[in-house]
């Protein structure tokens, strides 16, 4: 039995989806263990290009069972749309290869509205939410005020619970939202998705000895406890949460693969040391196609940040790393890297606590560019010495081996170093 977790080291968008897609065929189960449809895992393979929001990135592999774990919040309307898109691309999705935990929480349309309204109220202090209702849904989950998917089995009981939740919103919060049609839509979606809802704990128990790939959404910096709170997500994308969120708490991880991008990006608000706001940033954004997969928002850009990435690697407890999108840097003559933070005369390599982050500036070390196309290279020994220098410096700073390097979005544009 092998249990691996693929997690983001940075702010998300590191290329986790493409790495899960690459490895998924080797595992019996691929499990998403947290988050909702705010994820945008882009996968480019023989079937085409897909942005996965709720469905695990193992869906393209015939013999892989994909699980949406109890740690997730699920918008059934979004799921329905995502399944339609996959089917239009020739991918089979059925209760045979996709299962949803009966303990996952339902994200309802009023969560989306609450999210939008709160961002509007916050104005220039906004969190940078994707406005998909994720924070209100997790908020309700921990207030014990939402529906678990398994409740849909018994429609009468579920309706009673739903009515009580509506009363709670209206009476306690004077919440003035039109709830008409939400229940009816839910009943229609229930007809379609009831066969997908199972007790995944039982499923895993029966399948003793099987292998698991646990797929995170977002990255370490967005962890609700250890990230740049409140500019975080509302769940834990850390590997340590994976056994809990996947529906099998007794699982022990054999391996944590941290995904780290060859330069920095951040979507949404919050302090981001070394943000490139001028032409340099625009150039890198265009080269890397850095626009959000879930929202289309331009991502904020920086050079590679050793300080934040080392913190991310430590939070994830990563055993090995995949360095992605190295090819994006091909045309840069010089490549600066953030090796420390400074505030006046004070310099540090430790990641500061969030309220103090905005006072820090980056300290750069400059690397020569390699000036050639890496996208066709498949062997590390064929890398130009400048590219090796860049990779090996990151490896040393993060104190963790870089076992994989990706040089293109396609499934095979990957160099295996071990
Ligand atoms: P995720 O959310 O962590 O899965 O990452 P995203 O899907 O948001 O972002 C990764 C983007 O980079 C996707 O559009 C991928 O197709 C693309 N990508 C992944 N690896 C590489 C790579 O090595 N090179 C290039 N040029 N693009 C890549």
**pLDDT tens digits for range 280-336:** 999 999 999 998 766 778 999 999 999 999 999 999 999 999 999 999 999 999 999
Nearest CA to ligand 1 atom 7: 42
- Between CA 366 and CA 389 the distance in angstroms is 11
Q: How far is the CA of 273 from the centre of ligand 1 (A)?
A: 22
Torsion, Cα 252 257 260 265, to 10 degrees, reads -40
Q: How far is the CA of 13 from the centre of ligand 1 (A)?
A: 7
Catalytic residues: 13, 41
Chain-wide mean pLDDT for the chain? 94
Q: How far is the CA of 343 from the centre of ligand 1 (A)?
A: 33
Q: How far is the CA of 255 from the centre of ligand 1 (A)?
A: 22
- Between CA 130 and CA 292 the distance in angstroms is 10
Parallel/antiparallel/unpaired status of strands 361-368 and 402-406: unpaired
pLDDT > 90 in the chain, percent? 84
Q: On the CB side of 113, how many CA atoms lie within 13 Å of its CA?
A: 10
Please state the atom number of ligand 1 nearest to the C-alpha of residue 414. 23
- Between CA 141 and CA 107 the distance in angstroms is 9
Two tokens, residue 267? 């979507």
53 lines ligand 1 (CB under 6 A): no
| 296 Cβ contact partners less than 8 Å away, ≥ 6 residues apart | none
293 lines ligand 1 (CB under 6 A): yes
Residue 391 pLDDT exceeds 70: yes
42 lines ligand 1 (CB under 6 A): yes
21 lines ligand 1 (CB under 6 A): no
407 lines ligand 1 (CB under 6 A): yes
- Give pLDDT tens digits for 165-223: 999 999 888 877 888 999 999 999 999 999 999 999 999 998 776 899 999 999 999 99
Residue 72 pLDDT exceeds 80: yes
User: Residue 1: pLDDT band by 50, 70, 90 thresholds?
Assistant: confident
Please state whether the peptide bond connecting residue 195 to the residue before it is cis, i.e. omega within 30 degrees of 0: no
- Between CA 349 and CA 341 the distance in angstroms is 6
User: Residue 161: pLDDT band by 50, 70, 90 thresholds?
Assistant: very high
16 lines ligand 1 (CB under 6 A): yes
Chain centroid to Cα 182, Å, comes to 28
Nearest CA to ligand 1 atom 18: 409
- Give pLDDT tens digits for 89-112: 999 999 999 999 999 999 999 999
| 374 Cβ contact partners less than 8 Å away, ≥ 6 residues apart | 326, 327, 330, 383, 387, 407
Q: How far is the CA of 23 from the centre of ligand 1 (A)?
A: 15
Residue 311 φ/ψ region, left for φ over 0, alpha for ψ in the -120 to 50 degree band, beta for the rest: alpha
pTM for the whole thing? 0.93
**Which pLDDT score is estimated for 267?**
86
**Which pLDDT score is estimated for 415?**
97
Nearest CA to ligand 1 atom 21: 409
Helix H, strand E, coil C: the string for the chain is CCEEEEEECCCCCCCHHHHHHHHHHHCCEEEECCECCCCCEEEEECCEEEEECCCCCCCCCCCCEEEECCCEEECHHHHHHHHHHHHHCCCCCCCCCEEEECCCEECCHHHHHHHHHHHHHHHHHCCCCCCCCHHHHHHHHHCCCCCEHHHHHCHHHHHHHHHHHHHHHHHHHCCCCCCCCHHHHHHHHHHHHHHHEECHHHHHHHCCCCCEEEEEEEEHHHCCCCCCCCCCCCCCCCHHHHHHHHCCCCCCCCEEEEEEECCEEECCCCCCCCCCCCHHHHHHHHHHCCECCCCCCECEEECEEHHHHHHHHHHHCCCEEEEECHHHHCCCCEEEEEEEEEECCEEECCCCCHHHHCCCEEEEEEEECCCCCCCCCCCHHHCCHHHHHHHHHHHHHHCCCEEEEECCCECCCEEECC
Residues in the chain: 418
14 lines ligand 1 (CB under 6 A): yes
């Amino acid at each position: 039995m092998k249990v691996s977790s693929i997690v983001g080291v940075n702010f998300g968008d590191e290329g986790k989806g493409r790495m899960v897609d690459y490895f998924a065929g080797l595992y019996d189960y691929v499990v998403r263990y947290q988050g909702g449809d705010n994820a945008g895992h882009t996968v480019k393979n023989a079937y085409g290009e897909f942005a996965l929001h709720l469905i695990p990135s193992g869906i393209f592999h015939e013999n892989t069972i994909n699980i949406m774990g109890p740690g997730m919040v699920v918008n059934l309307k979004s799921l329905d749309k995502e399944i339609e898109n996959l089917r239009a691309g020739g991918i089979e999705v059925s209760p045979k290869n996709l299962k949803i935990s009966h303990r996952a929480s339902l994200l309802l349309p009023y969560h989306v509205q609450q999210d939008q309204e709160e961002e509007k109220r916050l104005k220039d202090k906004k969190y940078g939410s994707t406005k998909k209702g994720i924070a209100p849904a997790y908020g309700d989950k921990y207030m014990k005020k939402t529906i678990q998917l398994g409740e849909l089995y018994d429609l009468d009981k579920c309706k009673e619970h739903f009515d009580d939740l509506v009363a709670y919103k209206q009476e306690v919060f004077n919440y003035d939202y039109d709830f008409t049609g939400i229940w009816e839509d839910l009943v229609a979606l229930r007809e379609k998705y009831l066969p997908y809802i199972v007790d995944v704990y039982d499923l895993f128990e029966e399948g003793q000895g099987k292998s698991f790939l646990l797929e995170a959404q977002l990255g370490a910096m967005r962890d609700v406890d250890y990230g740049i709170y409140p500019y975080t997500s509302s769940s834990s994308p850390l590997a340590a949460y994976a056994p809990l969120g996947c529906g099998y708490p007794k699982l022990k991880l054999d391996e944590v693969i941290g995904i780290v991008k060859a330069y920095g990006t951040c979507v949404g608000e919050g302090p981001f040391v070394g943000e490139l706001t001028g032409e340099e940033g625009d150039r890198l954004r265009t080269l890397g196609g850095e626009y959000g997969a879930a929202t289309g928002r331009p991502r904020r850009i920086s050079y590679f940040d050793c300080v934040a990435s080392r913190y991310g690697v430590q939070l994830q407890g990563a055993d090995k790393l995949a360095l992605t999108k190295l090819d994006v840097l091909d045309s840069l003559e010089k490549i600066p890297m953030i090796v420390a933070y400074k505030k006046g005369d004070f310099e540090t390599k430790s990641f500061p606590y969030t309220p103090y982050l905005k006072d820090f500036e980056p300290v750069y070390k400059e690397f020569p560019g390699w000036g050639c196309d890496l996208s066709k290279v498949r062997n590390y020994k064929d890398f130009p010495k400048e590219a090796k220098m860049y990779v090996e410096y990151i490896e040393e700073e993060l104190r963790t081996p870089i076992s994989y390097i990706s040089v293109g979005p396609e499934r095979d544009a990957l160099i295996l170093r071990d």
